[in-house]
Structure 1
Amino acid sequence: MTTKINFQGDMDNASIPLNQNKEEVFQWTKQWYPVAVVDFLDPSRPHAIQLLGKDLVLWRDSLSKWSIFEDCCPHRLAPLSEGRVESDGTLLCAYHAWRFDSQGNCVSIPQSKDQQTSSKHCSNSKSSAISYPTQERQGLLWVWAESGSEAQLESQLRTPRIIPELEENSNRVVHLFWNIRDLPYGWDFFMENVADPAHVPVSHHGLVGNRYKDANYYDMLCIKQMSTQEGFSFEITPTAPTISQAIHDFQPPCQMRIVSTSKDGGKLILALYATPTRPGWCRHIGCQVLVKNEMGKTPKGLGVFGLPMPTWLGHVLSSLFLHQDLVFLHYQQKILAKRQKGQWVNAVYTPNPQDKMVIAFRQWLEKKAGGSIPWASGCNTDLPLPELDKQKLFDVWTTHTQYCQVCKDALKNIKRLRVLAYGLSILCLCVAVILDARAIAVKAALASANQIPASLLTVFPHIGFWWALGGAALFLLLGYLLDKFSRLFYVYEFEHAHND
């Protein structure tokens, strides 16, 4: 049985088909979530992460196996993320040196009276770290949101929301770089945002579209009926002149899959993941996948991000895109929290069909998933959502760079180049001074010997002086530009008022 539910009486175009058959409520903790990009992690140390309000730690053993534990040592609850990965492939708690293997078993308690006593204490289940099912797929590290033996069995029955095209062994599929960022707004606002293509040419003016020319009418047709586990999908019509089909597919709990098929048969796939970390925050991981047409032609990617570039540069430039709607979403959730009484629909006005998928998402959350994320016990949801000033919102270091080894390495190299550029500038300046002083000395000596007139001493310096001086200025400018560029690894500020 299928009926239509209309969130707003004045919006007939926004009626969304809903499956009225009884289904279980979406189980948030019985799901796979992507939490990291493996290639960006430093395997020599543990990393603190969060999921559904839980504090977790991920680390890699000597067999290159990644594990995820609750971020506390069973001894005195010190954070394991402040520990060490030892040469024998164990995780050491840096408080009292207890060690754990990749399964969470305690393998060493050095304060024990003797080895027999240590083994006895280690065999007690209370000494084990709490381990979560973990797997590596398509370059991402996935974690199951429950721990224990039952969770291990349940996790094997469900597949993460992977990208099917990347499973194909085909040279037609081009996988562009992964990007990852912690964002200061909730999971629901991320999903709402990527379910809303109408904002793209306006919010991302100048980068993807034009706010004055491309904010056009289109309809959204529901092509996959809403369900608890499989979400829903919509097709945009009409599409851009070069696009034959554009589909947004919400796959709970973490993926929005956007597929644009060109009229020549090529496909651009945006795989956009969002993992709820803590109230008011989510972790975004995303990439582009380009599928060539039958003639082998590769479609254009999204803006400049479809161009060939090193991964670290793609990460730096991603701020240009992410920060264009970051302020909207951060303050939008604050405003909604203050105004919302009852259903989401009471706080908004959505008269156009472009809002259909946003409405469908809020319906899914309300009717299929309990209305909100069930944060872990101990996660204080009564506290007000974080409200950051703009400068803190635009922070890149703590939301990306500090835990991306690729960007940290690139930043080190850029700093080295900056120091080299300034050093070469000083060297060139010294050479210029030496050349100028030498020329003056030679001319003075010749003049004193009456071999040249004294008036020639005022002639312009030798051409070598100018080359050296120009080199000093060029290297100084290069050092300055590298310094400016390196700041993008720390902060990138953006104002729509200045984006003409």
Structure 2
Amino acid sequence: MRTEFNFFQNWYPLSPVEDLNPEQPTPVKLLGINLVIWKPKNSPNYQVFLDECPHRLAPLSEGRVDEKTGNLMCSYHGWEFDENGICTSIPQAEKPEIVSKNKDNFCVRTFPTQEVNDLLWVWADPNSTEQAANTPLPLSPQIDASKGFVWSSYVRDLEYDWQTLVENIADPSHVPFAHHGVQGNREKGKPIPLKTIRSQADIIEAKYEGFLKTKITFEPPCRLEYEIEFGTDGKQVGLVTYCVPVSPGQSRIVALFTRNFAQRLNKIIPRWWEHVKTRNLVLDGDMIFLHQQERFLQQKQKTQSWKTAYKLPTEADRLVIEFRKWFDQYSGGKLPWEQVGISQPDVLPTNKTRREILDRYQQHTQHCSSCRRALKAVQRWQIGLLVLSAIAISTAAILPDFWRLRVGLPLVITALIGLGIYALLKFWLEPKFYFVDYVHAEKK
């Protein structure tokens, strides 16, 4: 008997905690709902509210955390709300009773939250707080420091839907081709004998064994992870992803990269360097064609189902098939956009440019504290290098002949080195925080 899956009565990670700014509110969208993340000044924990001031519906994410009260202030008229969403101040109120007698009517809708595994989690249904308290988080057994695991985090907004994201991660056979030269080699593409361990309402598991033993787990609606073992010495790496539905045609990936060896590497390699060198590049590698692929599928689904629109003849497609069957059985093959008043078109528009689809700054850099700091440092270094080069050249030019022969050449060389480093930062590194076009035909 079919049981309807409730996407709202589940826990979702919104962001790594380290990427949140405790000094100002952060807007985020989940299942079509506009939310605001903020941290009360005297509280150790972040709160998540509906991003609407009850006064005139201005976005609270454009507000501020008041220095005196520590409450969230709406920047439109100055209404303030405490960590429980209760209105504490209305500057325009003629009498204090206006505030005290209308606490229930003037409050902001709040969502249950938890901070676990360095992630901020939110329960997407504010009307079922008791159920939220009794529902465990979809945690991964690989995120366990007591067992020697270390991990790094990554978040990015994606220009394709939640089901496309789940489907893509559940498909290991695309890696040698979509990520050639980054995480794979197209010359090594081969059959992947995926075997389904179990497929039921609350979990889907599959595995395959070769040089590496790999287990893939999907715990609806968001946890999808790989557990990869090396030989017999217990070494293990993992990819723990949380696939977050944002709005029609958009999703968010919150990823944790785990391992139980070489623990010190996390302290040696800067987090931002991993993001610009590898993590962003991997997502760029399939963003363009997934953005288009889901629109092709939507077009075909006007007259047929995915079962005939797709051709899935190999065992490597097994997990995609199991996910699609789950999605059909428990969610009718669609997300609950209509429950939040969103009307999804039969086919999403296709008017975005490559720069918009692969916009690293909007999708990642602005959300990532490590990349934001690194970008500011890169820009400051550029200014410093230009100033240094200008001073060195100017000094060499005004030196007396006697000193010019002895000091002038080193100064010019210093200026040239400074300009070379400036060019490297300006034209090679800085663009990696904004946009890098990804053309598969050019990947040799």
What band does the TM-score fall into relative to the shorter chain? over 0.9
Map 1:248-263 onto structure 2 (within 5 A): 248-263=216-231
Contact 2:299 2:347 (C-alpha < 8 Å) held by counterparts: no
Distance (Å, rounded) in 1 between the aligned partners of 2:268 and 2:255: 17
2:332: which partner in 1? 370
Tell whether 2:154 aligns with 1:179.
Answer: yes
Q: 1:400 to 1:41 in 2, by over 3 A?
A: same
TM-score scaled by structure 2? 0.94
Contact 1:25 1:228 (C-alpha < 8 Å) held by counterparts: no
Tell whether 2:103 aligns with 1:131.
Answer: no
Tell whether 2:254 aligns with 1:281.
Answer: no
Contact 1:262 1:299 (C-alpha < 8 Å) held by counterparts: no
Shift of 1:327: 0.8
Greater mean deviation of Cα atoms: 187-196 or 425-434: 425-434
Map 1:23-422 onto structure 2 (within 5 A): 24-62=3-41, 63-87=43-67, 88-121=69-102, 123=103, 125-148=104-127, 151-170=128-147, 172-175=148-151, 177-212=152-187, 214-223=188-197, 225-230=198-203, 232-237=204-209, 239-240=210-211, 243=212, 245-263=213-231, 264-292=233-261, 298=262, 308-317=268-277, 318-340=279-301, 341-375=303-337, 376-382=339-345, 384-387=347-350, 388-422=352-386
In structure 2, the residue corresponding to 1:250 is in which secondary structure? strand
1:472: which partner in 2? 415
Identify unmatched segments of 5+ residues in structure 2.
none
Amino acid at match of 1:372: K
Contact 1:319 1:492 (C-alpha < 8 Å) held by counterparts: no
In structure 2, the residue corresponding to 1:462 is in which secondary structure? helix
Shift of 1:153: 0.1
Greater mean deviation of Cα atoms: 326-335 or 404-413: 404-413
Contact 1:35 1:142 (C-alpha < 8 Å) held by counterparts: yes
Q: 1:153 to 1:256 in 2, by over 3 A?
A: same
Contact 1:268 1:300 (C-alpha < 8 Å) held by counterparts: no
User: What is the aligned residue count?
Assistant: 436
1:19: which partner in 2? none
1:7: which partner in 2? none
- String of CA shifts for 1:201-252, please: whole Å, max 9, x gaps: 111111122112x1012211111x211122x111123x23xx2x11111111
Contact 1:275 1:284 (C-alpha < 8 Å) held by counterparts: yes
Shift of 1:118: 2.8
Contact 2:155 2:367 (C-alpha < 8 Å) held by counterparts: no
1:453: which partner in 2? none
Distance (Å, rounded) in 1 between the aligned partners of 2:202 and 2:380: 50
1:452: which partner in 2? none
Distance (Å, rounded) in 2 between the aligned partners of 1:31 and 1:432: 67
Contact 1:254 1:275 (C-alpha < 8 Å) held by counterparts: yes
Contact 2:195 2:315 (C-alpha < 8 Å) held by counterparts: no
Percent identical residues:
32
Shift of 1:98: 0.9
Distance (Å, rounded) in 1 between the aligned partners of 2:96 and 2:24: 27
Rg: which structure is higher?
1
In structure 1, the residue corresponding to 2:215 is in which secondary structure? strand
Contact 1:219 1:354 (C-alpha < 8 Å) held by counterparts: yes
Distance (Å, rounded) in 2 between the aligned partners of 1:83 and 1:34: 23
Distance (Å, rounded) in 1 between the aligned partners of 2:321 and 2:436: 32
Shift of 1:300: 12
Shift of 1:480: 1.1
Distance (Å, rounded) in 2 between the aligned partners of 1:211 and 1:168: 35
Q: 1:210 to 1:369 in 2, by over 3 A?
A: same
Distance (Å, rounded) in 1 between the aligned partners of 2:180 and 2:174: 9
Amino acid at match of 1:83: G
Identify unmatched segments of 5+ residues in structure 1.
1-21, 293-297, 444-460
